Amino acid sequence: MAVWLHRRANMRNAHIITIVLATWLLAAVGCKENGPGDASDLSRPTDGGQPQVTINGHQWNVELATTPEQRYLGMSGRKNVPTDTGMLFIFQDSKPRTFVMRDCYVPLDIAFINSGMLIVAIHTMAVELNRAGRVPYESGMSAKYALEVAGDALGQAGVAVGDRVTFSGNILQEQAAP
């Protein structure tokens, strides 16, 4: 009887551990579009050209984040973001978005862009003391894209809500993965 009870307790513990791990994995994939990552994992345009985003005549060379994993990893873990570079997050649908600064070492600007290619919200995202990513930065309106660049880069370029955004042709060929 004692052996049977011991086996049953071990099975229950194994089930609890499995449920906890599964929940953690689902939460990690469904969380914010940022986390520690390596730029080499990000999408490159299919035609080999450098993807670019232009706002008010200012151009940023961007990496593309098109899959859930790429969007989750984003620019986290980076120690610097070179001027005139950034990351464009591409989503399948247009809806309100929330980003956080999980594991980010440098401040970033974020511009949320709707399907009509207009900026609907801009935030300068500060580095959090423990890089836990607890402060939410929201689009407030539907957004299909999000552009992250070095902190204060959007302000220096005079970018404002309502500005029109253009992408190099190769970006429009990229499709977001579900």
Gap between the Cα atoms of 86 and 95, Å rounded: 22
Q: Among 24-28, 99-103, 122-126, 163-167, which stretch is predicted with the lowest mean pLDDT? A: 24-28
Contact 177, 135 (CB under 8 A): no
Both tokens assigned to 162: 């309502």
Mean pLDDT within 56-76: 95
First to last CA, the chain: 50
Contact 77, 133 (CB under 8 A): no
Exposure string of 129-153, with b = 16+ CB inside 10 Å and e = fewer, is eeeebeeebebeeebbbbbbbbbeb
pLDDT tens for residues 125-178? 999 888 878 999 999 999 999 999 999 999 999 999 999 999 997 787 677 677
Name beta bridge partners: 110.
Answer: 123, 148
